[in-house]
Every structure is written in structure tokens, then in C-alpha cells.
Amino acid sequence: MAPLRAVRLILCGLVAACGLLVGVLAVSSHAQQGRIIDPDASAVNEQMLLEQSPRIEGRTVLVSEGAGVLMQPAGRTWRHFHQVLLPWTGAIVILGTILGLGLAYALIGRLRLTAGRSDTKVTRFTAFERLAHWLTATSFVLLALTGLNITFGKVLLLPLIGPEAFTTLSEIAKWVHNFVSFPFVLGLILIAALWMRDNIPRRVDIEWLKQGGGFVKSRHPVAGRFNAGEKLVFWLALAAGAAVAVSGYLLMFPFYVTDILGMQAAQVVHSVVAMLFIALIIGHIYIGTLGTEGAFEAMGTGSVDLNWAREHHALWLQDEIAKGHVSGLPPRSSTRPAE
Amino acid sequence: MARMKFLCDAERCIECNACVTACKNEHDVPWGINRRRVVTINDGKPGERSVSMACMHCTDPPCAAVCPVDCFYVTADAVVLHSKDLCIGCGYCFYACPFGAPQYPRVGNFGTRGKMDKCTYCAGGPEADGTMAEFEKYGANRLAEGKLPLCSEMCSTKSLLSGDGEIIAQIYKERVVKRGYGSGAWGWMTAYREQITV
């Protein structure tokens, strides 16, 4: 019976060993279950993503614009610009310009015609040129007022007329702003085509600026058809016009060509340039009306007094006389000095 | 009064889009307008995460600040709502919103936007609670009936939570403690200037 006993012993030993092995395995697998597997260790997290990029973007089944942008805290930066920087700097720039011009009027006053009026008129702007100017000018005033309403209306107008009336007004203003942009751009193109040649800077412009332009009463520096000041307004207006037109159409066709950051940037460019543009045009209006005697009729009726032309645009007058464009004065060879 | 908030537990979101569908259905939201959306980051890659996002009803809401006609208001429950009668559809709230919540129906020429539409936290608008006029403009007013937003109520994994900020933050904290991990409440830092710390 000894061999049988031995077999039994071995079997018992094997079973015990197996049991132990299973037990050990069970314990080790239990230990594995107990250890926490952190699925976030390899996953994206919000803070990390925001440190990498100002926006968190992903994929979405929705097809609407920008829906893939989960978060863009940069909106807070734009808010700061729109609520604080823009209204304050805008108000300072525009009111500062008005104040500066008021001071100029008080100190220098209106620039009178030194030689008084003559009987002769010189044609300065054709009917078509005036049409181009007034098309741009009317559009500009409408765009400026409706645009300023977006920035300042809430503070200045809303408390006065109440929310319902202000919404109606603002909605109309929005439509006017959108539609009037087209005649404005047309006007800019016409102005550019008509006057670009005469606005190319020349050497006399430097001398004109050195002599203090039109602001020094005693001096009348010579100028061609447009003096350096007018040329400055021309080029600044074209540049600002192009900038507001491009940024404006980006805003008008939201998300057609750009993303959220592009839209915010377009709004910043549009509003900043527009504020400066308004200040520039306020200056332009002052010089062309109150500031200079005999200037407004150039754009009003199209012709200016001979003495006005002589005092402000001597070189241009010489050319006009030489071409025989001035009635009452015979054409003669140009006595223009070499530049 | 409660301070209503949304909380999306990204560890639980399975991108089923039921919240999006529930919202559209509950409020009869027109085609092209999505008050809620699910965005998946690193889609198909290891460690991808899906987050359900809508208006977070921010503290000091940027949309309300930039609105040129002041059409927003905040309810006693801290829900950010707006008046479609006053909105002019300028789109500025979309530029300021950190979460892309405002939506605009396209009407008329160019890219002209209609009156803005966004998540109302199922709380309607300025019209009288539960009226047809309110429903047509803003959708259902569940909050007035004592119910929470349908998106979170429908959420099959209870990833999206809504309710008083302190209560849902507590639920989230308990989850994180129990399971041992959590990536935080997405958007809370931006919307409420606070994060849930466990």
C-alpha cells in the first residue's frame, strides 16, 4: 500500500500547490484592480490646452460656423477693447480734434482773403468731381453717425429715448450702415481715379509744409492744384477708406473668409480706423468751411475767386491761365518757375 | 436663490449628442441653430475628450457687456437671458462669448443676422412664463415649472449636470473622490472664475 500512499501524497501536494498558485494569482489581480488607473493621465485637459493655444478646438457633428471652437477666452480681451479702450480713446480723439479746432479758430481765426474778392471766377471742380466728392461725403456722414451709435449710443442715446425706440433706431442704423457702404466705396474709387494724379507729392509740398501751410496768415506758400495738406487728407482718406471697407465687408459677411479671431481683429481695425477717420474728416470740414474764406465755394459751386486761387494755389492758377481756362484773362505761356 | 450652472464631466461624456437633440426638440429650435453642441478634442486619438457646451450663464457675462442695445438681463437664478424684441442681430455677443453660445438665423441679404438665439437654461425670456409668445421666441420654460434643463436631465451617463452651482460641484467632487480622477469642470474658470478643487 506504500506506493498508493505515496501517489496520494503527491496528488495532495499538487492540489495544494495549484491552490496556492491560484490564490497568489487572485491576490495579485485583486491588487491590480485596486490600483486606480487614471484615464486622464493621457487625456487632454482644459488648462493645458489653453496654455498651448488661446482657443480650444475640436470636431463636432454640427455644420454651423465656428461650432468646432469649444472655448475662446480671448473674447474677454475683445470685450475689454470694446467696452473700455475703444469708447475712451474714440471720445478723446474726436473731442480732442473738435477742441483743437475750436482753439485754432479762437487763436488764428478764419483765414481771410488778403487781397479781397476779385470779379473773376476760376473753375476748380467740374460737376462730376463735385458729385464724386458729395457722394463720398454724404455716405461718410451717414456711416459715421450710424457707426458711432454702435459705440456710444448705449451710453448717450439709450437713457434718453428708452430701449424700444433705441432698438428701432439702431436696427435702421445697422441697415443704413450696411447699404451706404456701397456708395461710399464707389465715391472713394471715383475720387481716387479723378484726383490721384494731382495728389502725387512734389517738391513744392515740402516748402509749403516748411512755411506752416495755410495756418500762418502772413504767408502764402505756392502750391499746385492741391497743397500738401490736401494731399495728406487725400492719401489718409484713401488709406483709411480702404481699411474700413475691407474690414467692414469682413464684418458684413461674417465668417465667410475668416474665423473668430479674424472677426475680432476686423472689428478692432474697423472701429479704430473709423474713429481716426472721423477726426480727420472733422478737420477737413473745418478747413474747407469755417477755417478758410473762399474755400467752400470750390466744392459748393465749383468755381473759386481768382484771388483765392492766387493766394492758395498759385502754381495751379498759372497753369489754368496758360491753358486759357480763366475767362477774362488771355492765355499766356507758363511762367511757372522750374521746380 | 440658487446660482444656476452647467457642469460637463468630460470623463463621462460619450458624444451621443442626446443633449443637442433634446434641446432642439424641446424648444423647436429652427434648422441651423444649435443652442448646445458636443465638441470632441483629439478625435480618434488616445486620450480624446468630448465636452457638451452651451451658454454657461457666466458671472459678469461678456455678451451683456458688449451688447450695443443692452438687450441682456440676468435672472434671480443667475440665468443670462435676452430680449429678442431689443436684439438687432449685430453679432457682437458672438465675438465676446468665450463659448460660442450665441446663434443667429440668417435672414435677408449679405450675412445679415436675425435676432440672436441662445440657450435659455430652459427658462424662456422676458414674456410671461409659459405663454405661447414666450415659447415661440425662446422655447419652453421648464425652470418656471420647477424642472431643470432638458439636456442635462436627458444625459444618459449623467455627464452633463445642471442645477445650483454648489450642489453640482459637490456631486462632481464626490465622483472624483470615488473614482480617483477628474479633469475638472470644463469652462468653469472662464465662466465663473472658479475651479472645483477636490
Q: What is the DSSP string of B99-117?
A: T---B--B-SSTT-B-S-B
In this prediction, residues A41-61 reach a mean pLDDT of 86
Question: In chain A, pLDDT over 90 holds for what percent of residues?
Answer: 61
- Just give the CATH number of B4-192: 3.30.70.20
pTM: 0.86
CA distance A46 to chain B (A): 6
Give the residue carrying C-alpha cell 496520494. A8
Q: Are B161 and B172 contacting, i.e. CB atoms less than 8 angstroms apart? A: yes
pLDDT confidence of residue A214: 65
The interface predicted TM-score (ipTM) is: 0.91
The residue behind cell 475638472 is B184
More confident of the two residues A191 and A47: A191
Amino acid, res. B37: R
Domain ranges of chain B: 4-192
- State phi, psi for A303 to the nearest 5 degrees: -125, 150
Inter-residue contact B52 to B35 (CB < 8 Å)? no
Probe site for chain A from B93, B95, B97 (most A CB atoms < 10 A):
B95
Four-CA torsion A210, A216, A220, A224, nearest 10 degrees = 60
Listed as ranges, residues in chain B with pLDDT below 70 are: 108-111
pLDDT for residue A31: 47
Angle of CA points A233, A234, A235, to nearest 5°: 95
Residues 38-57 on B with a CB inside 8 Å of A are 38-43, 46-51, 53
Mean pLDDT (chain A, rounded): 87
- Residue carrying the nine cell digits 432638458: B150
Q: Which of residues 103-122 of B touch A (CB under 8 A)?
A: 103, 110-113
For position A334, what pLDDT does the model report? 47
Walk me through the domains of chain A, giving residue ranges and CATH numbers: 126-305 (1.20.950.20)
Write the pLDDT tens digit of every residue in A290-330: 999 999 999 999 999 999 999 899 999 999 999 888 877 66
- A28 pLDDT more than 80: no
On the question of pLDDT at A275 being above 50, the answer is yes
Q: With 50 as the cut, is the pLDDT of residue A36 above it?
A: yes
- Work out how many CB contacts closer than 8 A connect A with B: 162
State the average pLDDT over residues A256-260: 90
Would you call A65 an interface residue with chain B, using a CB distance cutoff of 8 Å?
no
Return the pLDDT at A1. 46
Q: Report pLDDT for B47.
A: 84
